[in-house]
């Protein structure tokens, strides 16, 4: 994309994107692929042989593996060179996180350290704080963590009660309170902690070192999954924090927390890709070995359906993840004339808050589907702890809770779109009103396109119109009270998410036309055919669920008519399309899309 073409987060809701303006995984360069291969080799040598020991939380093991990752430079991919990091692009850091996402519990420790454990200091720290902490975090000498959640402050982070008061000599903040669900807390040397100073309405942030007086830890939490991930409660009893360890400005903590959550959400979207791909490989390799009724189960139609759906869900999620990740890099590049890279990066995360929330929800649900079907394909063996299949199933579940629950993030999708529209980032309400007013002009059935890409773009354009006219109608009906209609917001969020992922995957395949030959591209078109066809039915239901929840009379009839008109698609032989997708997976015996 041209440097002077401004990137605006959430704008996809009103504006089409061209294939040339997105990044796709097939465009990774040699250096990026080398970093990814280093990650894969690291998993094979240091993580997979030790999975059981990791899950048993053997003292010092996971911290030691993190240290080895640091020695290879895998902890400093996002850290500037002057702080002993690699200073790679956001897309590159996402690629590394993608590969490392296949590391079960270690993936959680790694993503915590390299993300929320280190980056708040990079983005908000002053020069002295960066020089003191970042080199040690990049090398792995010190490990990082992040403590925001409290027993009575989960999704409502600003409701936290942990308090900070200035000592009489003015040299320290004295922290009192409690944090829970703090990843890496069993071994972290540096923890970003949020507390309110005196009677402040909003949070401030502090850099806490493990040996600060007054800091205590509970024993390790026992969890359903990610058993090897260290999770402890933190207790502050007049914990002495030097005043120079205030991170950012007083009262800036809530803003820091929100922007780091945006970053965490988009990174989670990347992290689950590695776990999903690993589970798909397990599924197909078992299906290619297991015989029932004297036949390989990979030859059964029901198994092919499951394998194909795993591929489709992974492919479309991956397409959206790298589209959004590249947008972050583009925004940073465009902003460097006005601000430094750290400020530009954190602004980019806020800019793409809608996309981040979409990826968090869609990717976590994608992984849940894939690991569930992985267990089903393995049958009884999938339920046995003898294999890692059940471990992947249990480990997946936390992702719908991490970084704000999926329920909160769905509401954020719509709420952030509305707020960005109100602030004039894009003409949301003008386009929404136009889509609504145009409903009276609809008649008959829509004219379908013969060209594959033209027809799919027509359908996706119609998905956009449905999202827009629902936003208009619901906003008109409820005004400021729309925020309390969570079921309707969920319906609209589901439509917006499917719009974004559909468009991302179609643009990827369109761009692949210049990379793959005509024979190779057919299976990718099968993926789009099945996904867009299925999505049309889902969007029809989501839209009508919303409409029947609030609209009446002629308005209801108009909205239903529009939904029916805009979800007309060509029929697809989904059975044969899925079989072709599954056959490629079966022939390759691994995910190779």
Tens digits of residue pLDDT in 269-319: 999 999 999 999 999 999 999 999 999 999 999 999 999 999 999 999 999
Q: What is the pLDDT of residue 100?
A: 98
d(CA 323, CA 363): 14
- Candidates 323, 209, 198; CA nearest to 266 is 323
> Which pLDDT band holds residue 5 (cuts at 50, 70, 90)?
low
User: Does the pLDDT value for residue 2 go beyond 70?
Assistant: no
Q: What is the pLDDT of residue 155?
A: 76
Measured CA to CA in angstroms, residue 133 lies from 31, 343, 544 at distances of 27, 18, 53
Burial class (CB in 10 A: 0-12, 13-18, 19+), 473: buried
When pLDDT is averaged across residues 204-231 and rounded to a whole number, the result is 97
d(CA 86, CA 97): 15
Burial class (CB in 10 A: 0-12, 13-18, 19+), 20: exposed
Read off the tokens for 584: 């490629």
Catalytic residue among 318, 355, 403, 431: 403
User: Does the pLDDT value for residue 371 go beyond 90?
Assistant: yes
How many CB atoms neighbour CB 347 within 10 A? 18
Mean pLDDT in the chain?
96
Q: What is the pLDDT of residue 1?
A: 41
- Candidates 347, 334, 349, 323; CA nearest to 2 is 334
Q: Are 470 and 546 in contact (CB under 8 A)?
A: yes
d(CA 264, CA 351): 14
Tens digits of residue pLDDT in 498-525: 999 999 999 999 999 989 988 899 999 9
Pick the CATH number of 146-251 from 3.40.50.740, 3.20.20.60, 2.40.110.10, 3.30.2230.10: 2.40.110.10
Residues in the chain: 593
Domain residue spans of the chain: 25-143, 146-251, 272-408, 410-588
Please state the CATH superfamily assignment of the domain spanning residues 272-408 in this structure.
Butyryl-CoA Dehydrogenase, subunit A, domain 3 (1.20.140.10)
Tens digits of residue pLDDT in 142-200: 999 999 999 988 778 788 899 999 999 999 999 999 999 999 999 999 999 999 999 89
Looking at domain 410-588, its CATH class is mainly alpha
Tens digits of residue pLDDT in 318-360: 999 999 999 999 999 999 999 999 999 999 999 999 999 999 9
The C-alpha angle 531, 535, 280, rounded to 5 degrees, equals: 40
Q: What is the pLDDT of residue 3?
A: 44
The CATH classification number of 25-143 equals 1.10.540.10
Tens digits of residue pLDDT in 522-543: 999 999 999 999 999 999 999 9
Largest CA distance in the chain: 81
d(CA 359, CA 395): 18
- Decide if 25-143 and 146-251 have a common fold: no
d(CA 238, CA 542): 51
Read off the tokens for 301: 């139609």
Long-range CB pairs of 14-21, under 8 A, 24+ apart, other chains included? 14/426, 14/427, 14/428, 14/431, 14/464, 14/468, 15/426, 16/457, 16/461, 16/464, 16/503, 17/503, 17/507, 18/507, 19/507, 19/508, 19/510, 19/511, 20/511
When pLDDT is averaged across residues 560-580 and rounded to a whole number, the result is 97
How many CB atoms neighbour CB 399 within 10 A? 26
The DSSP code sequence of 232-277 is: EEEEEEEEEEEGGGEESSTT-HHHHHHHHHHHHHHHHHHHHHHHHH
Read off the tokens for 12: 């996809």
- Candidates 56, 93, 51, 50; CA nearest to 74 is 93
> Which residues, at least 6 apart from 66, have a Cβ–Cβ distance to it below 8 Å?
75, 109, 110, 113, 140, 143
The DSSP code sequence of 466-523 is: HHHHHHHHHHHHHGGGGGG-HHHHHHHHHHHHHHHHHHHHHHHHHHHTTTS-HHHHHH
Q: Rg for the chain (alpha carbons), in Å?
A: 24
How many CB atoms neighbour CB 149 within 10 A? 17
User: Does the pLDDT value for residue 34 go beyond 80?
Assistant: yes
Catalytic residue status for 403: yes
pTM assigned to the model? 0.96
Q: Hey, is 11 helix, strand or coil?
A: helix
Read off the tokens for 4: 């002077």
């Amino acid at each position: 994309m041209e440097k002077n073409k401004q990137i605006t987060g959430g704008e996809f809701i009103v504006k089409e994107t061209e294939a040339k303006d997105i990044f796709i995984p097939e465009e990774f360069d040699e250096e990026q692929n080398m970093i990814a291969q280093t990650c894969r080799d690291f998993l094979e040598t240091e993580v997979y042989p030790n999975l059981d020991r990791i899950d048993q939380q053997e003292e010092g093991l996971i911290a030691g593996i993190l240290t080895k990752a640091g020695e290879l430079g895998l902890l400093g991919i996002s850290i500037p060179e002057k702080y002993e990091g690699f200073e790679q692009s956001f897309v590159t850091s996402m690629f590394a996180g993608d590969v490392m996402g296949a590391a079960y519990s270690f993936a959680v420790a790694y993503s915590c350290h390299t993300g929320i454990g280190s980056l708040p200091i990079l983005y908000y720290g002053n020069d002295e704080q960066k020089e003191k902490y970042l080199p040690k975090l990049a090398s792995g000498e010190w490990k990082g963590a992040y403590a925001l959640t409290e027993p009575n402050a989960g999704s409502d982070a600003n409701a936290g009660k942990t308090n900070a008061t200035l000592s009489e000599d003015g040299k320290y903040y004295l922290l009192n309170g409690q944090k829970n669900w703090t990843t890496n807390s069993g071994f972290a040397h540096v923890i970003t902690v949020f507390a309110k100073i005196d009677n402040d309405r909003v949070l401030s942030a502090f850099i806490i070192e493990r040996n600060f007086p007054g800091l205590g830890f509970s024993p390790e939490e026992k969890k359903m999954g990610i058993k090897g991930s260290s999770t402890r409660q933190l207790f502050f009893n007049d914990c002495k924090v030097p005043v120079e360890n205030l991170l950012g400005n007083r009262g800036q903590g809530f803003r820091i927390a929100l922007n780091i959550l945006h970053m965490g959400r988009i990174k989670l979207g990347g992290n689950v890709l590695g776990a999903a791909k690993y589970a798909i490989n397990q599924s197909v390799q078992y299906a290619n070995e297991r015989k029932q009724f004297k036949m390989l189960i990979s030859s059964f139609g029901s198994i092919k359906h499951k394998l194909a759906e795993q591929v489709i869900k992974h492919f479309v999620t991956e397409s959206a993840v790298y589209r959004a990740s590249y947008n972050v890099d583009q925004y940073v590049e465009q902003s460097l004339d006005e601000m430094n890279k750290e400020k530009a990066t954190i602004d980019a995360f806020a800019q793409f808050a809608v996309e981040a929330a979409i990826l968090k929800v869609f990717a976590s649900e994608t992984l849940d589907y894939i690991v569930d079907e992985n267990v089903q394909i393995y049958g009884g063996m999938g339920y046995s702890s003898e294999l890692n299949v059940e471990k992947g199933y249990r480990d997946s579940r936390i992702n719908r809770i991490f970084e704000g629950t999926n329920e909160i993030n769905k509401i954020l999708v719509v709420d952030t779109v509305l707020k960005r529209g109100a602030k004039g980032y894009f003409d949301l309400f003008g386009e929404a009103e136009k889509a609504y007013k145009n409903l009276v002009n609809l008649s008959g059935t829509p004219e379908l396109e013969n060209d594959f890409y033209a027809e799919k773009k027509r359908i996706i354009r119609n998905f956009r119109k449905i999202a827009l006219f629902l936003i208009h109608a619901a906003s008109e009906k409820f005004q400021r009270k729309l925020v309390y209609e969570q079921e309707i917001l969920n319906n609209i969020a589901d439509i917006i998410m499917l719009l974004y992922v559909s468009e991302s995957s179609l643009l990827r395949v369109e761009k692949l036309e210049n990379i793959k030959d005509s024979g190779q591209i057919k299976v990718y078109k099968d993926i789009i055919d099945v996904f867009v066809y299925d999505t049309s039915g889902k969007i029809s239901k989501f839209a009508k669920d919303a409409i029947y929840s609030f609209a009446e009379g002629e308005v209801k009839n108009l909205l239903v008519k529009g939904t029916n008109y805009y979800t007309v698609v060509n029929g697809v032989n989904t059975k044969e399309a899925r079989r072709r997708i599954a056959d490629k997976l079966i022939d390759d015996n691994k995910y190779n899309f």
